[in-house]
Amino acid sequence: MNFIEQIIEEDIQNRKNDAKVHTRFPPEPNGYLHIGHAKSICLNFGIAQKYNGLCNLRLDDTNPVKEDTEYVDSIKEDIQWLGFQWAEEHYASDYFDQLYLWAEQLIQDGLAYVDDQSQEEISKGRGVPTQPGTESPYRNRSVEENLDLFRRMRAGEFPDGSRVLRAKIDMASPNMHFRDPIMYRILHADHHRTGSKWCIYPMYDFAHGQSDSIEGITHSICTLEFEVHRPLYDWFCEALHIHHPQQIEFARLNLNYTIMSKRKLLQLVKENYVNGWDDPRMPTICGLRRRGYTPAAIRNFAETVGVAKRDNIIDVSLLEFCAREDLNKTAIRTMAVLDPVKLIIDNYPEDQVEMMDAVNNPEDEGAGTRKVPFAKELWIERADFRENADKKFYRLSIDREVRLKYAYIIKCTHIVKDENGEITEIHCTYDPLTKSGMPDSNRKVKATIHWVPVKHSKAAEVRLFDRLFNVPAPDDCEEGKTFLDNLNPNSLITTQAWVEEGLTYEKASTIKHFQFERIGYFYCDPDSTEEKLVFNKTVSLKQ
């Protein structure tokens, strides 16, 4: 049980909020969701599930300039893909009328005023935490004048930036957020939902807590940077005499070798450093999906990471571990050769093709078996042969034996090279008694290698990924450099592989997740066609 669950269980015991639990996930629709958001989604929806409560989706759309319905749609798709369904769908912009009325109420109560100072003057007046700030010369306007000015702000009489509405709290507070925070600003911009109805927009602090309150949220879970906003969250709820949800902060998820700022992810997309938000190298949920991550892997990751009160950095290999663990149980096995060299079995009949029994998933009997054609000429991995093999190399070498997976034990006899010294053919003989069901089928050799028949395999494109950034903390850079200087120029390698001919487009695009035996987990990319399959490497088999 984490510390948030502890708080909630106590609240339930004390019958606070009639022992009900209602959380929400409140993304701003200004970008695609990333793995950090996934953590927050699993936490908020997970708590609602665990305590028989509800979790809302609230699009926190109070900043018209950066927001778009494209992002709203992607957010909904990603949450559902992760396996969660919200109880209610809301938009902060649906509360603009109510928020406006509440702002007038605070003016009436002498708790808010219109300030004509410029942005710079306001910042300067706030001062520094160790010294009291200076009060605005407009701070003591009458209620009538404030109401009149605020109504005219709304009516569109004033240009952007000329006036703001501020809460009248305490210009000497050690908490800078208490020094007369801005509630409304003038912004003549169209909103993706309210169009041109508004030219004043509420600030985060005047919208978030009230939105929680309107929805009857009981526990408003957010990340640590909002801890300093909490007194203000509480102040507005108290000043307005409305339902007062409890804000609880936890440490945001940070991953090494990764950036998670939406602004920077947007820059990677806009400036074509990656191929879109769903590029498999991106830490976005849609990028992870296209990489071949499963919802279960991401949920397990979020669970394993846990909920912390202090900021920390999680190793990205933990995410990879969670992918392996899930895919091992579910991915269908197939053979594929990524860096081929030809193996010729000299004593195998020229035109013979045998159908070998292969297991689809040793972890799941229900996945069944398939037949794989076997013939005289095969592709094997170049790395599975070594000319000058030492004792530690157990795979193929001259005069040594290995087993061909699902087939025979072979012994290498000689090799053929081209004029550059590159091996073009590996010759061997096979032992017909070593096939499964034959007398010597249990004879032990030190290694088993995979293969595909030259005449019964097909080409596929394979995309291999490395980390998008070269360094553990891409945001930490020297003077004059940016996170872009830390991009790994070799993060994508596209190559051609030979795969089993039985791996049809139909099969690949339905099953999607495969284990290429002895190599790793691969995902059938949506770029695949009947003519050409494309696979993304999700993660290798071992670290």
β-pair partners for 431: 409
Min dist. Cβ of residue 245 to Mg ion (A): 18
The CA-based dihedral angle spanning residues 84, 89, 91, 96, taken in that order and rounded to the nearest 10 degrees: -150
DSSP string, 70-101: HHHHHHHHHHHHTT---S-EEEGGGGHHHHHH
Closest CB to Mg ion: residue number: 28
Closest CB to ligand ATP: residue number: 36
The answer for 399, left when phi > 0, alpha when psi is -120 to 50, beta otherwise, is left
Which residues would be at the binding site for Mg ion (CB under 5 A)?
28
Among 22, 37, 289, 370, contact with ligand ATP (rule: CB under 6 A): 37
Q: Say which entry of ligand ATP, Mg ion, none residue 68 contacts (CB below 5 to 8 A, set by partner kind).
A: none
SS (H, E, C) 296-363: HHHHHHHHHHCCCCCCCCECHHHHHHHHHHHHHHHCEEECEECCEEEEEECCCCCCCCEEEEEECCCC
The answer for 299, left when phi > 0, alpha when psi is -120 to 50, beta otherwise, is alpha
Alpha carbons within 13 angstroms on the beta-carbon side of residue 299 total 15
Question: Catalytic pick from 16, 126, 252, 386?
Answer: 252
Subset of 40-79 contacting ligand ATP (CB under 6 A): 40
Among 36, 181, 292, 474, contact with ligand ATP (rule: CB under 6 A): 36
**Tell me, what DSSP letter sits at residue 407?**
S
Question: Given the complex with ligand ATP, which of 187 and 260 has the nearer CB atom?
Answer: 260
- From the list 35-43, 102-110, 450-458, 511-519, the region that binds ligand ATP by CB under 6 A is 35-43
Question: Catalytic pick from 5, 28, 77, 425?
Answer: 28
Q: Say which entry of ligand ATP, Mg ion, none residue 40 contacts (CB below 5 to 8 A, set by partner kind).
A: ligand ATP
Instruction: Give the span between the Cα atoms of 381 and 390, in whole angstroms.
Output: 18
Binding mask 122-151 for ligand ATP (x = CB under 6 A): ------------------------------
> How many H-runs (helices) and E-runs (strands) does the chain carry?
13, 25
Decide: is 223 part of the binding site for ligand ATP (CB under 6 A). yes
Instruction: Give the span between the Cα atoms of 160 and 158, in whole angstroms.
Output: 7
Q: Say which entry of Mg ion, ligand ATP, none residue 245 contacts (CB below 5 to 8 A, set by partner kind).
A: none
- From the list 23-31, 66-74, 418-426, 439-447, the region that binds ligand ATP by CB under 6 A is 23-31
| Percent helix, percent strand, percent coil in the chain, to nearest 5 | 30, 25, 40
Question: Among this protein's residues, is 10 annotated catalytic?
Answer: no
Both tokens of residue 152? 């005219």
Return the number of other C-beta atoms located less than 10 Å from residue 31's C-beta: 24
Q: Say which entry of ligand ATP, Mg ion, none residue 524 contacts (CB below 5 to 8 A, set by partner kind).
A: none
Q: Which residues of 166-183 are buried (b: 16+ CB within 10 A; e: fewer)?
A: bbbbebebeeebbbbbbb
Min dist. Cβ of residue 28 to Mg ion (A): 5
Residues, the chain: 543
- From the list 31-39, 64-72, 169-177, 477-485, the region that binds ligand ATP by CB under 6 A is 31-39
* Binding residues for ligand ATP, total number by CB under 6 A: 14
Q: Say which entry of ligand ATP, Mg ion, none residue 303 contacts (CB below 5 to 8 A, set by partner kind).
A: none
Question: Given the complex with Mg ion, which of 260 and 492 has the nearer CB atom?
Answer: 260
Among 8, 22, 39, 381, contact with ligand ATP (rule: CB under 6 A): 39
Min dist. Cβ of residue 134 to ligand ATP (A): 31
Question: Given the complex with ligand ATP, which of 252 and 411 has the nearer CB atom?
Answer: 252
Residues 6+ apart with CB under 8 A from 321: 543
Question: Among this protein's residues, is 252 annotated catalytic?
Answer: yes
Question: Given the complex with Mg ion, which of 36 and 520 has the nearer CB atom?
Answer: 36
Both tokens of residue 381? 């991995």
Subset of 257-296 contacting ligand ATP (CB under 6 A): 260-262
- From the list 143-151, 253-261, 473-481, 513-521, the region that binds ligand ATP by CB under 6 A is 253-261
> Please, what is the Cα angle at 182 between 179 and 188, to 5 degrees?
160
Q: What is the CA radius of gyration of the chain?
A: 31
Question: Given the complex with ligand ATP, which of 210 and 515 has the nearer CB atom?
Answer: 210
Question: Catalytic pick from 141, 262, 299, 512?
Answer: 262
Min dist. Cβ of residue 511 to ligand ATP (A): 32
H/E element holding 286?
Answer: helix 285-291
Min dist. Cβ of residue 267 to ligand ATP (A): 12
Question: Given the complex with Mg ion, which of 67 and 381 has the nearer CB atom?
Answer: 67
Instruction: Give the span between the Cα atoms of 229 and 493, in whole angstroms.
Output: 45
Contact positions toward ligand ATP, by CB under 6 A? 26-28, 36-37, 39-40, 222-223, 252-253, 260-262
Active site members: 28, 252, 262
